[in-house]
């Protein structure tokens, strides 16, 4: 597969009209603006059917923080509401019927675990307790006398471990309900715990982001110190590998104390209680600086980063029925699955903002709890029977003809279909064409949508009869050809006299005093300086030369050539100055032309990018400009003695251009500026008068020099004895 063709995608400004272009999607970034419905997207761009994701129960709470399943298939979940004094525990039975089971003291239920006798243990926050629920009746099982209870876990002997804050303690409670502090960390909060196959306790902390392994004897050993602030979740695989979810930048500022009751944040996690600093994932900020990372720590203790995201927060980890790690995230309500070789798949997007808890259940089902809003879902293990992906809109840049569509992938016995629609509005509306299927011959087919500027596609996947593996698609491609349109020349202007553009193979030095740089097209020449913007190309001094430059474009991005012609104002026929010009400027020796007013005509052709029969042209004529190579005349130069010295007078006159400057010199001395009698150098004819002191009794020679605006000069002198 030649994926380098993606460089052609939407690159209308750099391609030629005669060349077929290809719109390709094969990278996850290509689908950022696509709509996915019951399909999953892998990090290498593969699209496949998603696992079934269906709602089990709507609790009518703003957030849930825990979910667990007992041996009979009953699912328990719990959470809270803003301003509430009672936390709610819910049950969804094996038939899918849900109900509110109990209300417990506290603002929210933070954690739920179930023992081997199917007794439910629920921890509340803040100033919470661990309740045991049997046959719908609750009793206080253990009070750690801590501000927060963040997590619960059982070891193989039935001991319950309780992770707390704000003293960073872990309590161990016997099956009889006798408990005490088992381990004290140096951290404010122990945010997450898990038990491995050797009954080691794995604990994640906040604000240091430390992962600690605690032996059954209560001896701690730091496995890993994260660069992140908070370890929100832990999961231990069957082979002993520990997966760690770390979130938030340690440098992030601590938010001010919020109200005493947790409040769900728009687009963020629930707010913390007010008594002490709490983990960042429960603050009311809509996003946490630093994003998330997932690390795996192998049996030897070596950490490896296996996933990261710059903005999403990982709230929960769990394994699916095949032992693959699932990530529950916010604030876009996504569930990711880690695959082999550092690949991951975006499985589903929830209607809720955060995926707060994941728990494996019977028959490969994974139970999902969410926040904003609080719902319970079932994920998998079956795949959806069909799903689709609707792309963003292709803007071809101009009216285009659609060609062949194709895909790369494996139908796996199922179905892969493509539909397209087109239009001339920048977003699909009712006045677009209807969806039209692409009739495939194997993996190729001709697009049936009418020619237009915009195109959209819909990729449909369907499972084989009886279920099984999902079809997958790793690339979709659409060929199109933009209709050729004529180039445009939309501005022409003459350049300053006595300067020329360098030859295409040479470049003049912008620092040279004998060079100038032109301003952008349409800019005015400065009367005080000709050193202007460098974006339009430099010119070098060359007496008698003049030039023209122009602005042009081609909507197809075609290569253009130019023909430049000239004629005098009042003349009928255009005379060729130069043909096959590649640059957008030209200069020439104007001394070969009589003084007068002229126009240039620039004709652009897109011939280099199109067959001769399809090449198009456009032309534009400039405003008249002046060619003047004749110096002004000096007349009436005289030096008249007076009472105080000499009075020198003369007249300067030019046929076509304004007298721009006059100077005088006495006895070969430096040139000094002389002002017109009117003080303004604004006319074709000006009078000058200079009063000079008489020096000695000898002969004096006064020279005068005048220049027009084209830098043509005349010199004359007068001698006084």
Task: Give tens-digit pLDDT for 31-40.
Answer: 989 999 999 9
Task: Indicate whether 270 pLDDT > 50.
Answer: no
- DSSP letter for each residue of 133-186: EETTEEEEEE----SEEEEEEE-TTS-EEEEEESS-EEEEE-TTS-EEEEEE-S
Task: Say if residues 24 and 9 touch (Cβ distance below 8 Å).
Answer: yes
**What is the DSSP code (8-state) at residue 239?**
T
pLDDT confidence of residue 443: 87
pLDDT tens string 72-97: 999 999 999 887 889 999 999 988 89
Nearest to 246, CA basis, from 306, 196, 302, 300: 306
Examine the pLDDT at 513 and tell me if it is beyond 60: no
**pLDDT greater at residue 537 or residue 241:** 241
pLDDT digits (tens, 9 = 90+) for 647-697: 999 999 999 999 999 999 999 999 999 999 999 999 999 999 999 987 767
Find the mean pLDDT for residues 634-653. Answer: 91
The torsion region of residue 286 among left (phi > 0), alpha (psi -120 to 50) and beta comes to: alpha
- How open is the CA angle 693-696-699, to the nearest 5 degrees? 95
Q: What is the pTM of this model?
A: 0.72
Judged against a pLDDT cut of 60, whether residue 636 lies above it is answered with yes
pLDDT at 411: 87
- Quick one: pLDDT at residue 254? 39
Give the pLDDT of residue 250.
86
Looking at residue 320, its pLDDT comes to: 95
- The DSSP H or E segment spanning 376 is strand 366-383
User: What is d(CA 630, CA 634) in angstroms, rounded to the nearest whole number?
Assistant: 13
Question: Which tens digits make up the pLDDT trace of 357-413?
Answer: 999 999 999 999 999 999 999 999 999 999 999 999 999 988 999 999 999 999 888
Q: Nearest Cα to 347, choosing from 85, 584, 634, 42? A: 42
Q: Any idea what DSSP says for residue 632?
A: P
Query: Rounded to an integer, what distance in angstroms lies between the CA atom of residue 417 and that of residue 438?
Result: 7
Q: How far apart are CA 187 and CA 210, in angstroms?
A: 8
Q: Which of 67, 73, 114 is nearest to 97 (CA)?
A: 73
- Helical segments of 317-476, H only: none
DSSP 8-class letter at 26: -
pLDDT at 522: 56
The rounded mean pLDDT for the chain is 88
Report which of 304, 327, 310 is spatially closest to residue 223, judged by C-alpha positions: 304
The Cα–Cα gap between 560 and 488 comes to 10
User: Per-residue confidence at 721, pLDDT binned at 50, 70, 90?
Assistant: confident
327 or 256: whose pLDDT is higher?
327
Three-point CA angle 378, 336, 372, nearest 5°: 60
Residue 259, pLDDT > 70, answer no
**Where do the domains of the chain lie, and which CATH numbers do they carry?**
3-49+386-482 (2.60.120), 51-383 (2.130.10.10), 488-627 (2.60.40.10), 633-720 (2.60.40.650)
The residue ranking higher by pLDDT, 430 or 582, is 582
Sign of CA pseudo-dihedral 27, 29, 34, 40: positive
Residues 519-558: tens digit of each pLDDT: 676 544 433 333 333 335 689 999 999 999 999 999 888 8
pLDDT band for 111, please (50, 70, 90 cuts): very high
Where is pLDDT greater, at 172 or 531? 172
**The pLDDT of residue 446:** 96
Rounded CA-CA distance 574/578 in Å is 12
Q: What is the pLDDT of residue 18?
A: 64
Residue 521 is predicted with a pLDDT of 66
């Amino acid at each position: 597969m030649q994926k380098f063709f993606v460089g052609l995608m939407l690159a209308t400004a750099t391609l030629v009209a005669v060349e077929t272009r290809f719109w390709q999607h094969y990278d996850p970034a290509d689908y950022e603006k696509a709509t996915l419905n019951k399909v999953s997207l892998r990090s290498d761009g593969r699209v496949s059917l998603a696992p079934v994701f269906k709602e089990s129960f709507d609790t009518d709470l703003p957030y849930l923080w825990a979910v667990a399943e007992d041996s009979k298939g009953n699912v328990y979940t719990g959470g809270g509401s803003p301003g509430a004094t009672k936390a709610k525990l819910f049950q969804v039975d094996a038939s899918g019927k849900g109900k509110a089971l109990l209300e417990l003291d506290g603002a929210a239920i933070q954690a739920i675990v179930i023992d081997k006798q199917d007794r439910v243990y629920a921890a509340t926050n803040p100033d919470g307790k661990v309740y045991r629920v049997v046959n719908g009746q609750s009793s206080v099982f253990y009070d750690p006398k801590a501000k927060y209870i963040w997590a619960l876990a059982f070891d193989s002997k039935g001991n319950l471990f309780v992770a707390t804050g704000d003293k960073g303690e872990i309590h161990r409670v016997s099956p009889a309900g006798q408990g005490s502090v088992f381990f004290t960390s140096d951290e404010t909060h122990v945010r997450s715990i898990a038990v491995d196959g050797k009954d080691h306790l794995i604990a994640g902390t906040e604000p240091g982001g430390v992962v600690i392994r605690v032996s059954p004897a209560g001896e701690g050993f730091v496995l890993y110190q994260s660069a992140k602030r908070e370890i929100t979740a832990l999961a231990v695989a069957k082979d002993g590998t520990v997966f760690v979810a770390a979130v938030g930048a340690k440098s992030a500022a601590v938010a001010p104390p919020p109200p005493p009751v947790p409040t769900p944040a728009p687009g963020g996690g629930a707010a913390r209680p007010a008594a002490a600093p709490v983990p960042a994932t429960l603050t009311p900020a809509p996003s946490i600086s630093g994003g998330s990372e997932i690390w795996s720590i192998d049996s030897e203790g070596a950490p490896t980063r296996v996933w990261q995201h710059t903005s999403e927060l990982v709230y929960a980890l769990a394994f699916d029925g095949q032992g693959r790690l699932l990530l529950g995230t916010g604030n876009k309500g996504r569930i990711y699955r880690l695959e082999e070789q550092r690949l991951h798949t975006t499985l589903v997007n929830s209607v809720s903002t955060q995926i707060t808890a994941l728990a494996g259940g019977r028959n490969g089902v994974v139970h999902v709890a969410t926040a904003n809003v609080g719902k319970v879902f079932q994920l998998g293990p079956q795949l959806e029977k069909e799903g689709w992906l609707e792309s963003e809109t292709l803007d071809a840049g101009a009216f285009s003809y659609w060609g062949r569509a194709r895909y790369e992938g494996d139908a796996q016995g199922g179905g892969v279909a493509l539909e397209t629609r087109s239009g001339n509005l920048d977003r699909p509306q009712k006045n677009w064409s209807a969806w039209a299927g692409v009739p495939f011959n194997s993996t190729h087919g001709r697009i049936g949508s009418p020619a237009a500027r915009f195109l959209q596609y819909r990729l449909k996947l369907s499972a084989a009869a009886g279920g099984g593996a999902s079809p997958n698609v790793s690339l979709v491609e659409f060929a199109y050809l933009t209709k050729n349109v004529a180039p445009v020349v939309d501005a022409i202007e003459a350049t300053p006299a006595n300067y020329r553009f360098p030859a295409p193979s040479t470049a003049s030095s912008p620092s040279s005093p004998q060079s100038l740089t032109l301003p952008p097209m349409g800019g005015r020449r400065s009367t005080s300086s000709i050193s202007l913007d460098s974006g339009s190309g430099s010119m070098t001094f060359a007496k008698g030369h003049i030039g023209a430059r122009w602005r042009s474009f081609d909507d197809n991005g075609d290569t253009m050539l130019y023909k430049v012609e000239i004629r005098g104002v009042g003349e009928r026929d255009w005379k060729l100055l130069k043909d096959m010009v590649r640059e957008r400027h030209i200069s020439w020796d104007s001394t070969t032309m009589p003084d007068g007013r002229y126009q240039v005509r620039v004709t652009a052709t897109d011939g280099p990018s199109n067959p001769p029969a399809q090449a198009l042209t456009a032309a534009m004529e400039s405003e008249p400009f002046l060619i003047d190579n004749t110096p002004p005349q000096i007349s009436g130069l005289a030096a008249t003695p007076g009472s105080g010295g000499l009075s020198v007078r003369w007249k300067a006159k030019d046929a076509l251009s304004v007298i721009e400057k006059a100077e005088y010199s006495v006895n070969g001395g430096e040139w000094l500026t002389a002002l017109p009698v009117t003080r303004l150098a604004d006319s074709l004819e000006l009078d000058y008068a200079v009063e000079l002191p008489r020096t000695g009794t000898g002969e004096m020679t006064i020279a005068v020099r005048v220049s027009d605006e084209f830098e043509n000069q005349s010199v004359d002198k007068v001698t006084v004895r």
